[in-house]
């Protein structure tokens, strides 16, 4: 099929739009065709196989054993689809999902109106329709283990690993109330009332008994984490509401599992005795606590393992993934709550693992998790669409409409009622607006569908009707609620997420507040929230961190760790922006250290001295920083969680880099920034680098006169007026007791960009003994060779 | 003992309730605690607060205790410190940690926020000159890190300097090289901390039920 793409449109945006749409349609056709071809041609191919000589063994035997064998020409080229059809089809689906995602983001207007999940379901419908038209069997994806074992875990692990622990724990009571009591209420309300409706004459539904109805109620009442994540990611709602709905969707898994198994077990018995109810409660406790326990155990194992990985950095991410997956599988093995196990595992291991693994591994873990969860989510929605088309369906107006209405009603009543009770115990009460969003954000998703699909056909003759109702409910919540929640959030002026950079002042005061509130509680005399949190922290610091964190890092208090992290980020940020050339008059000088130091300090420039390093380390630092520089240049901007905007400093980079580049062009005419290279020989790459980027030569090593080679990262203050925050920190410091650097004449005009020069002293940190003081962050960075260092030197090094 | 006492203290409690916003039960409980800490006297001294064992491992306990004896926190426009405080002053200091009411207008919220931040500001600004100087801020950070052992003054200094620089950048924007940033004024303080939503964070739960007997005060228990 030939497609003409109209590229000659005068307005760029329209051609873009056309291109995007055509791309989409093309892709859908392509994928649908290949898939059907693939399915259709396998029987033919296998026939071809036998004669085509694809199987050497059989060919040879045939040649020798057959009496009337006629010699054929040796098969030079043969087609053997059957051989690879399973992985091929899987890859095709994944490719389809990824290309769809690409396509949506090429059409900018569409993704802002319609949430991605809706679009994906529509695509799934189309593909499913195509497959059905071709007469082939739709792969039953959502019923098999594929969903629960392969598609769901990455999403949950991603959510659990990056779960914001602090707001989660602060609201844990509320979340548990909504998850447990709310889901139970929903299940019984919907199930019970449906049964009542079914008993009404004239609906022809009287064969539906109570227990199947309750089972249906329990399947459909659970808020789905995948759907919630997909929709809430795009509306950027404030943290509290986000964590409430999202936390609820995660924690209600235990309730769903128990109710599902309970009703499924007893639906053929026909009744549930009080004994069973008691057993059910016990089961619930075991399922949830057991799941958490399993997750915690695996999390601790992972943390412990990561303590020893300092020599094999390359496989560090693997431990994170494998341990988490094993936690999930182990929990599923015992019919415990796999979701809670995954969440517990990710949340428990994260602080320790992050303290142990290198920066590269950390980035790898982040990227892989985001990638897998993104692909999984896309695939799930597409399959939902495909499965809808596949059927089988049994449409019953009464049942379906009553279901949809009841779900809405029960959700609203549940949320309002529970909030009334919860507000009595909360310090920060939930307002009506909050309640509305919580109620409206209760989306159903693929988990409900899979659970329905897993029902036994014989035990539940009305299974198809259930499935139809579930699908309708899912479609309703995802399409109607998903599409309208964004305008409603704007309309109601619900507080949005604050895109705040975490500043050092806030960090100091957060810690200060923690201690203050703990102290006040102690004075008041009651053991509250803060007291226990403080106790846990102390226990953590004293015992757990010692076991699970490698080296000396466990002693590092949180504030210091935060500070080092920020320094490091700032260093990289400034390097990647190309350093800075000072424009003498154009830009006003920024606030720098001398503005806040009392006047008595000499104006001499004491650089910000990082701990001392050997020459070998210098080289490594340079390599790392340079490689980061190169990669950032090609970074594109994108808009949702799948682009790791969790890192606040990355956001400002692009702006900053653009501004810098503009300025750098301006400054090309100005005097070159070249300081005299000193004695130690530069690597060839350094020379190349300096020549290639003339005004920005900033790798410059000078020999230290003292003989202890150290590196000082002296970072320029930014030239652009509105990039503030930490960048100023790295200009001169008035610390007298740190050895003053050896900056020569020309360099004395401050803020000349990034220079790495040795100087004599370094920061002394008590408690970190041994020859060089080790900045733990840099140590971890340096000790990670990465898979292929050599490649980086070949990349063009241009600003 | 409980009911009889509450009846007899009614009129005083009412006045205190109006002043600080606590409920009667909460005032009753806090009064009991006050008596417990002060060994049944009418005034509380620093030494009494020092004996609380739970407070011993808190890195900023000195500052917390000082805050109770700081006249600026008594809402009477006073200044300086006192050696002992009465129950009323104790309650006024405690009232800084009351959670805001559910339905508040934006201005009331702002007022509450200012009040709480003013409390924090006073805690840092020990010499009461209206600004937090670099030295004072360094002291704060050092205290925070003091319990963590390990790290010395250099890092604390570095952090404090960085924080100060940030405040200066945010508040002042540009400064000439020879200008000097005196210190963090209250307005600057408000500005840099406006994102942490202090009115929701700086609260503790004051109970309406009595649990003070349940915890260890280091004093011989009465029951």
Residues 6 or more apart from A39 whose CB is under 8 A from it? A131, A134, A136, A137
B25 and B117 both lie in a single domain: no
Residues B90 and B109 in one domain: no
Question: Which of A519, A721, A764 faces B60 most closely, judged by CB atoms?
Answer: A519
Top residue of B23, B62, B151 to mutate, by most chain A CBs within 10 Å, is B151
**Is residue B124 in a domain?**
yes
B4, part of any domain = no
Q: How many CB pairs under 8 A join A and B?
A: 209
Residue at a domain's end among B96, B130, B146: B96
B21 and B77 part of one domain:
yes
Give A269-278 pLDDT, tens digit per residue. Answer: 767 788 888 8
Q: Min CA distance, B77 vs chain A (Å)?
A: 23
Tell me how far apart the 2 most distant CA atoms of chain B are, in Å.
68
Looking at CA atoms only, how far is residue A557 from chain B in angstroms? 6
Residue pLDDT, tens place only, A520-555: 888 877 777 777 788 888 888 777 777 777 766 656
Are both B35 and B110 inside the same structural domain?
Answer: no
* Any domain includes B56: yes
Of all helices (H) and strands (E), which one includes residue A713? Answer: strand A710-714
Cβ <8 Å between A509 and B196:
yes
Residue A419 has pLDDT above 80, yes or no: yes
Among B73, B96, B119, where does a domain finish? B96
Cα of A753 to nearest chain B Cα, Å: 18
pLDDT at residue A154, as a whole number: 93
pLDDT of A412 strictly over 90? yes
Q: Are A725 and B169 in contact (CB under 8 A)?
A: yes
Render pLDDT for A33-67 as a digit per residue (tens, 0 to 9).
555 554 444 443 333 333 433 344 444 444 454 55
Does B122 share its domain with B77? no
Looking at residue A523, what is its pLDDT? Answer: 80
Contact between residue A231 and residue A115 where contact means Cβ atoms under 8 Å apart: yes
- B87-91 contacts at long range (C-beta below 8 A, 24 or more positions apart): B87/B30, B87/B31, B87/B34, B87/B42, B87/B44, B88/B16, B88/B19, B90/B30, B90/B34, B90/B44, B91/B16, B91/B19, B91/B20, B91/B22, B91/B27, B91/B30
Query: What are the residue boundaries of the structural domains of chain A, listed by start?
Result: 144-492, 509-567
User: Residue A691 — very low, low, confident or very high, per pLDDT cuts 50/70/90?
Assistant: very low
End residue of a domain, out of B96, B131, B165: B96
Range of the domain at B71: 11-96
Rounded to a whole number of angstroms, the distance from the CA of A555 to the nearest CA of chain B is 7
Decide: pTM greater than 0.80: no
- Of the pLDDT bands very low, low, confident and very high (cuts 50, 70, 90), residue B33 is confident
pLDDT averaged over every residue in chain A? 71
Which chain A residue's Cα is nearest to B53? Answer: A522
Greater pLDDT, A484 or B14? A484
Where residue B78 sits, what CATH number does that domain have?
Answer: 1.10.238.10
User: Look-up: residue for tokens 């008993």?
Assistant: A199
Chain B positions touching A597 (Cβ under 8 A) are 134
Determine the average pLDDT of the residues in B170-180: 70
Task: Give me the percent of chain B exceeding a pLDDT of 90.
Answer: 0
Residues B76 and B157 in one domain: no
Q: Do residue B138 and residue B86 come from a single domain?
A: no
Q: Which residues of A touch B165 (CB under 8 A)?
A: 591-593, 596, 726, 728-729
- For the stretch A103-162, pLDDT in tens is 888 887 777 778 888 888 888 888 888 888 887 776 766 666 788 888 899 999 998 888
Does any domain span residue B65? yes
Q: How confident is the model at residue A707 (pLDDT cuts 50, 70, 90)?
A: very low
| Higher local confidence (pLDDT), A220 or A685 | A220
Chain A nearest-CA distance from B6, in A, is 19
pLDDT on residue A589: 39
Residue A322 has pLDDT above 90, yes or no: yes
Tell me, yes or no, whether B113 and B37 share the same domain: no
Residues B193, B135 share a domain: yes
Q: Answer yes or no: do B74 and B43 share one domain.
A: yes
User: Which CATH code fits A144-492?
Assistant: 1.20.1530.20
- B158 and B118 in a common domain: yes
A510 to chain B: closest CA residue: B196
B153/B77 same-domain check: no
Establish if B213 belongs to a structural domain.
no
Q: Check B58 against A522: CB less than 8 A apart.
A: yes
Residues pairing with A714 in the sheet: A755
Chain B residue nearest residue A424, CA to CA: B102
Question: What strands lie across the sheet with A609-612, from one edge to the other?
Answer: A609-612, A710-714, A755-757
Domain count, chain B: 2
**A82-100 confidence digits (pLDDT tens):** 888 888 988 988 898 888 8
| Residue, of B202 and A296, whose pLDDT is higher | A296
- Greatest mean pLDDT among A658-662, A726-730, B192-196, B218-222: B192-196
Residue that is written with structure tokens 């205290």 in the block? B143
């Amino acid at each position: 099929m030939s497609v003409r793409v109209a590229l000659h449109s005068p307005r760029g945006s329209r051609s873009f739009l056309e291109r995007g749409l055509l791309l989409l349609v093309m892709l859908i056709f392509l994928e649908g065709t290949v898939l059907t071809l693939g399915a259709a041609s396998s029987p033919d191919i296998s026939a071809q196989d036998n004669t085509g000589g694809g199987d050497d063994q059989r060919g040879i035997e045939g040649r020798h054993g057959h009496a009337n064998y006629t010699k054929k020409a040796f098969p030079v080229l043969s087609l053997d689809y059957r051989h690879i059809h399973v992985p091929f089809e899987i890859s095709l689906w994944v490719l389809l999902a990824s290309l769809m995602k690409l396509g949506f983001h090429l059409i900018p207007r569409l993704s802002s109106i319609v949430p991605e999940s809706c679009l994906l379901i529509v695509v799934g419908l189309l593909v499913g329709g195509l497959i059905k038209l071709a007469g082939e069997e739709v792969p039953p994806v959502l019923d098999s283990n594929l969903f629960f074992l392969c598609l769901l875990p990455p999403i949950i692990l991603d959510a659990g690993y990056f779960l914001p622990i602090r707001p989660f724990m602060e609201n844990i009571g509320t979340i548990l109330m909504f998850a447990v009591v709310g889901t139970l209420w929903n299940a019984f309300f919907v199930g019970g009332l449906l049964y009542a409706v079914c008993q009404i004459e004239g609906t022809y539904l009287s064969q539906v008994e109570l227990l199947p109805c309750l089972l249906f109620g329990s399947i459909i009442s659970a808020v789905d984490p995948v759907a919630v994540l997909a929709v809430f990611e795009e509306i950027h709602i404030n943290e509290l509401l986000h964590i409430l709905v999202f936390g609820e969707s995660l924690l209600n898994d235990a309730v769903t599992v128990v109710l599902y198994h309970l009703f499924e077990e007893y639906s053929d018995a026909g009744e549930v005795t009080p004994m069973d109810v008691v057993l059910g409660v016990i089961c619930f406790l075991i399922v949830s606590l057991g799941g958490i326990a399993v997750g915690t155990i695996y999390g601790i194992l992972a943390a412990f393992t990561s303590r020893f990985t300092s020599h094999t950095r390359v496989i560090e991410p693997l431990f994170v993934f494998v341990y988490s997956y094993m936690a999930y599988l182990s929990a599923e093995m015992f019919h415990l709550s796999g979701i809670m196990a995954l969440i517990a595992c990710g949340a428990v291991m994260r602080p320790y693992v992050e303290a142990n693994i290198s920066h590269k591994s950390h980035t790898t873990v982040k990227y892989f998790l985001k990638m897998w969860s993104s692909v999984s989510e896309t695939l799930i929605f597409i399959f939902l669409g495909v499965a809808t088309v596949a059927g089988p369906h049994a449409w019953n107006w009464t049942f379906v409409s009553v279901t949809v209405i009841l779900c809405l009603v029960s959700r609203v009543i549940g949320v309002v009622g529970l909030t009334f009770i919860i507000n009595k115990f909360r310090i920060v009460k939930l307002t009506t607006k909050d309640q509305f969003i919580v109620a409206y954000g209760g989306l159903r998703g693929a988990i409900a569908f899979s659970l329905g699909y897993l029902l036994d056909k014989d035990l539940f003759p009305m299974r198809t009707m259930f499935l139809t109702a579930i699908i309708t409910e899912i479609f309703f919540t995802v399409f109607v609620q998903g599409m309208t929640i964004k305008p409603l959030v704007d309309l109601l002026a619900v507080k949005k997420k604050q895109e705040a950079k975490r500043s050092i002042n806030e960090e100091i005061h957060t810690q200060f507040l923690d201690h203050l509130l703990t102290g006040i509680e102690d004075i008041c005399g009651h053991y509250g929230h803060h007291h226990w949190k403080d106790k846990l922290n102390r226990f953590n610091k004293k015992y757990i961190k010692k076991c699970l964190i490698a080296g000396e890092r466990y002693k590092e208090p949180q504030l210091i760790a935060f500070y080092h992290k920020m320094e490091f980020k700032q260093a990289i940020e400034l390097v990647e922006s190309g350093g800075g050339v000072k424009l003498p008059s154009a830009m006003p000088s920024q606030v720098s250290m001398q503005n806040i130091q009392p006047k008595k300090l000499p104006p001499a420039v004491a650089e910000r001295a990082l701990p001392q390093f050997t020459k070998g380390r210098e080289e490594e630092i340079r390599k790392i920083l340079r490689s980061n520089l190169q990669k950032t240049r090609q970074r594109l901007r994108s808009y949702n969680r799948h682009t790791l905007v969790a890192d606040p400093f990355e956001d400002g980079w692009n702006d900053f880099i653009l501004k810098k580049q503009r300025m750098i062009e301006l400054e090309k005419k100005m005097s070159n920034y070249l300081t005299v290279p000193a004695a130690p020989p530069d690597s060839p790459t350094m020379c190349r680098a300096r020549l290639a980027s003339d005004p920005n030569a900033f790798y410059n090593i000078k020999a230290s006169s003292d003989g202890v080679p150290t590196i000082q990262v002296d970072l320029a203050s930014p030239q652009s007026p509105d990039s503030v925050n930490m960048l100023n920190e790295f200009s001169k410091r008035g610390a007298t007791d740190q050895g003053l650097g050896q900056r020569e004449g020309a360099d004395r005009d401050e803020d000349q960009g990034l220079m790495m020069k040795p100087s004599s002293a370094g920061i002394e940190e008590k408690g970190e003994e041994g020859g060089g003081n080790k900045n733990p962050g840099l140590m971890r960075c340096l000790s990670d060779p990465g898979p292929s260092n050599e490649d980086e030197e070949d990349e063009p090094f241009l600003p | 003992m409980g009911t009889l006492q509450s009846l007899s203290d009614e009129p005083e409690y009412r006045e205190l309730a109006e002043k600080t916003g606590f409920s009667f039960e909460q005032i009753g409980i806090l009064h009991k605690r006050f008596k417990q800490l002060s060994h049944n006297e009418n005034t509380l001294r620093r030494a009494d607060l020092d004996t609380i064992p739970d407070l011993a491992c808190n890195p900023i306990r000195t500052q917390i205790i000082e805050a109770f004896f700081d006249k600026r926190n008594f809402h009477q426009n006073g200044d300086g410190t006192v050696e002992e405080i009465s129950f009323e002053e104790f309650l006024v200091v405690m009232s800084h940690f009351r959670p805001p009411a559910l339905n508040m207008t934006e201005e009331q919220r702002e007022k509450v926020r200012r009040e709480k931040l003013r409390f924090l500001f006073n805690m840092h600004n020990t010499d009461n000159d209206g600004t937090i100087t670099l030295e004072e801020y360094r002291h704060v950070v050092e205290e925070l890190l003091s319990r963590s052992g390990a790290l010395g003054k250099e890092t604390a200094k570095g952090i404090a300097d960085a924080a100060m620089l940030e405040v200066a950048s945010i508040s002042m924007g540009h400064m000439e090289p020879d200008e000097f940033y005196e210190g963090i004024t209250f307005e600057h303080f408000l500005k840099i901390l406006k994102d942490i939503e202090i009115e929701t964070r700086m609260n503790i739960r004051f109970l309406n039920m009595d649990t003070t007997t349940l915890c260890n005060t280091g004093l011989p228990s009465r029951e």
